[in-house]
Amino acid sequence: MTKFAKLSRIIAAQGAVLLKNESDFLPLQDNENVAVFGRCQFDYYRSGTGSGGSVNVEYATDFINSLKEREQVNVNEEVFCAYKRWVSENPVNKGDGSWASEPWSQEEMRVDEELIKNAATVSSKAIIIIGRTAGEDKDYTAEPGSYYLTDVEQQLITNVCKHFGQVGVVLNVSNIIDMSWENDDIDMIIYAWQGGMEGGNAIVDVIVGDITPCGKLPDTIAHSIDDYPSTKNHGGSKRNLYQEDIYVGYRYFETFAPQKVKYPFGFGLSYTTFEVEIISECKLLSEYHIDIKVTNTGDTYGGREVIQVYSEPPQGYLGKPTCALVGFKKTKYLEPGESEEFELVIPLNLVASYDDSGATRYKSAYVLEQGEYLLHISNSCRYIYDTVRFTIPHCLIVTQLYEALAPTTNFSRIKPLFNADGEVTIAYEKVPVRNVDLVKRIKIRVPNEIEYTGDKGYKLQQVRDGEIVMEEFIAQLSREDLEILVRGEGMSHPDVTPGTASAFGGVTEKLRAFGIPLVCAADGPSGIRMENGSYATQLPIGTLLASTWDTELIERLYVMEGKELKENYIDVLLGPGLNIHRNPLNGRNFEYFSEDPILTGKMAAAVVRGIKRGGANATLKHFACNSQESYRHEIEAIVSERALREIYLRGFEIAIKEGEATSVMTAYNPINGHWCASNYDLNTTILREQWRFKGIVMTDWWARMNYVIDGGPATRTNVASMIKSQNDIYMVVGNYGAETNENNDNLSEALNSGWLALGELQRCAMNICKFVMATRSLERNEQLFSKPQLFEAMEANPQVPPLVDLAIDIREKTEQFYFDQAGVYQVDVTYSSIAKGFAQTTCNILLNNKLMTTIQVGNTKGESVTKKLATVQLVEGAYELKLDYVSGELSINRIAFVPIHD
């Protein structure tokens, strides 16, 4: 096992969250006899689905084989053999191979009650494994087999509880699921989540006591899906009202409905116990300092505790959650009786509230309202060890900003209303709508045009070396060069690491002649997606990472991820994802961290720092409010400026300011009338001006934009509005399509009319070049994958037909031909795709069992398209061409070899 995989395994174990452990069910003791039920003991889910889960691994682990290999406990062989036989006869249903077609759960074996009864005479304990998955373009649904258990799973739990004295449940899931099935006969419940390629080993490490569980919930588990205030607005097709406002997750439940909580945010059990005491405390001008001592008070097991600090502010004029996370720290591993002392520093800006209405008289400012503030030292949002207090004598401005991204639609949001007895009810108030003149805001910030000088012989490296300034370099680029530069190409670009998501920067020979290298970006965040079949390390999912509450450990993990990216010549990982878990039914929650923005931001910052230390760059996504996968390209987030500032943007802000992130990907959806890719207040006002972000902003793949001022319908061609908003790069046009403006975007037209200023385009070009200078691509100073790949002929076969006109019309998945004109050739592939919506589909093309190229495309609506995909060197002889399709949605019709002459 590599060091990378070993650390991944440790983290996957430390992110497991033990919710229940009655009768000392765990850890399993040596030589105990255990019966394991559920097909996911074999078919362990490593990750969710879609681009964030598509990692090719050299090996994978599962629960049952890992448990048996330890030889610490005795596994019931009759039950094991029954499942092994059934699983072999009922293989995993992967759908039809098309995008997002894999089901949420697999068919479960109907276990004969007699088998359970017999097993209970041999085994003292039973463990049931429940598995679920979802992902990109596939939300969970409030149905059996998805968010709810199936009848077969329910019956399995009932029958096992009937015959066994001790029963435990392991949840191998990508997200919290309904837990109404829990009963008093179940002694143990643990969320294993999805731990990547080492996840099977990791959860067994916890089960047998090699690692003491120390994970804490990153989300609230309520009694019912309808208890979450966002559920009534989740899943629409046109617009989504964020009426719960800042009251997301535990902020809502602890304020309005504590009785609806089954397991609170931040909760998680250990095999030992801890005592926490405050040693000292003091308030400085902008921070609160608390010295804490944590002691392991158990006598058997070592372990780690997470100290969480929650603010309880005065309600004031604004109204606030009664509980909000403002800081946390995970202890080192403490042996029984051992203590650790450390300082927690709580920035008061995290305690402040944003006034978007002027109720405090300080509109568009973070404020501390007058009154007493409590800081609870806790191990969940419910259990409080101790409390410190401080008083703000009068309302204080923490940060004065100015209005940005306010809604244009009138709607009401919830607000707490307390009576004289302190009892709270839900009241409503109108949300402040946009007041600013967006036309004026944009116009006064249009940058001056840099006068075109033509080629002066300057290279980008000279800017990096300080020999010239960036403006001198950009002045050399013609208008056409600038237009090309803001178009990224992909997927599976032939000139960068095969099977990756995109190439941008030096997409033409002329741009590369200026010293602008070709930059490679790959999907993530839980491992590198390379559709050419190359292996990568698959990491635990985002939800599990957040459950560790351990930023130092996560940073160490992603240092290794950065090194793996560097080794594969990948400059940019498209992750981490840090959208808020607004609702449990969001299928892509597995890529994100938590319902809480502070935990989300701290985790994301750790990922960004780690990847940078390892030698690559991270991309924060999806900016912002990507709260559902259904209709994610259309559904408008209608949300108050306060909720955006305090909840949905705060994680991004922390990752940028603390992690020093330099790459951001915008979301598909519109926010308050403007699609994210052309949202000026999102990409310029807040991100660049108020947060001082220095980096690039890219669209999500094949995104749409509407008019940056007027809004309206969105198209993929309105790149001029993208540029005006300061979203720098359109992702993606087809490979080698940037120079020809393959997507027919409106850049040239907008420049000709004067609607788009050349200075605005130059501004984005400078953003791109500054980012590129900080990547390894500039150091490589060459295209590693653009050189012709040599293919040797196989042994001649008289039956093999000669290649006619240097092209082959594809009729079968395997074609043979004799090639009699040795030389260097450009490979052109003609194909069509009927992939659903914006889905991707892939085919690896092999020549004599060696990868020649990977074609990875979206929907062409059945129309034939011809693309250059590789450069090869062929010798005379016989060849066998193989097409390795992912699904039947892609059809390759013709492959031609075009001679390349010196």
Q: Any idea which residues carry the catalytic annotation?
A: 700
State both tokens at 609.
Answer: 């720092």
DSSP summary character for residue 104: S
Task: Tell me which amino acid residue 624 is.
Answer: A
Using a 10 angstrom Cβ sphere, with 0-12 exposed, 13-18 middle and 19 or more buried, the burial of residue 138 is buried
Alpha carbon distance 153, 130 (integer Å): 8
Residue in 528, 572, 510, 473 with CA at minimum distance from that of residue 776: 572
Instruction: Give residue 223's Cα distance to chain centre.
Output: 27
Which stretch of DSSP H or E encloses residue 355? strand 353-355
The residue written with tokens 């031909």 in the block is 817
For 503, residues 6+ apart whose C-beta sits below 8 A from its C-beta are 488, 489, 490, 493, 495, 496, 518, 519, 520, 521, 735
Which element (helix H / strand E) includes 766?
A: helix 758-773
Q: Are 859 and 835 in contact (CB under 8 A)?
A: yes
Half-sphere exposure of 81 (CA within 13 A, CB side): 5
Q: What does the DSSP assignment read for 237-303?
A: SSEEE-TTTT--THHHHHHH-GGGEEE-TT--B-SS-EEEEEEEEEE-SSEEEEEEEEEE--SS--B
User: Helix (H, G, I), strand (E, B), or coil: what is residue 729?
Assistant: strand
Residue of 847, 90, 51, 135 whose CA lies nearest to 491: 51
Place of tokens 């947060």: 691
666/530 Cα distance (integer angstroms): 22
Question: What is the Cα–Cα distance from 103 to 115, expressed in whole angstroms?
Answer: 28
8 A C-beta contact, residue 429 and residue 261 = no
Determine contact, residues 43/87, Cβ cutoff 8 Å.
yes
Rounded to 5 degrees, φ, ψ at 375 are -115, 110
Mapping DSSP to helix (H, G, I), strand (E, B) and coil, where does residue 368 land? strand
CA distance 447 to 439: 15
- Structural contact between residues 576 and 590, judged by C-beta atoms closer than 8 angstroms: no
Residues ≥6 apart with Cβ < 8 Å to 433: 406, 407, 408, 409, 410
Q: What are phi and psi of 368, to 5 degrees?
A: -110, 110
Distance in angstroms (rounded) separating the CA atoms of residues 554 and 537 = 15
**Helix, strand, coil content of the chain in percent (nearest 5):** 25, 30, 45
| Amino acid making up residue 691 | W
Phi, psi (deg, nearest 5) at residue 145: 90, -10
Q: Is the peptide bond before 313 cis (omega within 30 degrees of 0)?
A: no
How do 33-37 and 125-131 pair as beta strands? parallel
What stretches of 578-726 adopt beta strand conformation (E)? 617-618, 620-623, 636-638, 663-666, 670-671, 674-675, 696-698, 705-707, 711-715
End-to-end CA distance of the chain: 47
Assign 840 to helix, strand or coil: coil
Question: What residues are paired with 807 via a beta bridge?
Answer: 896
CA distance 329 to 309: 9
* Structure tokens that stand for 294 in this block: 């944590």
Counting Cα atoms < 13 Å in the Cβ hemisphere of 65 gives: 12
**The token pair that represents 844 in the structure block:** 């690896």
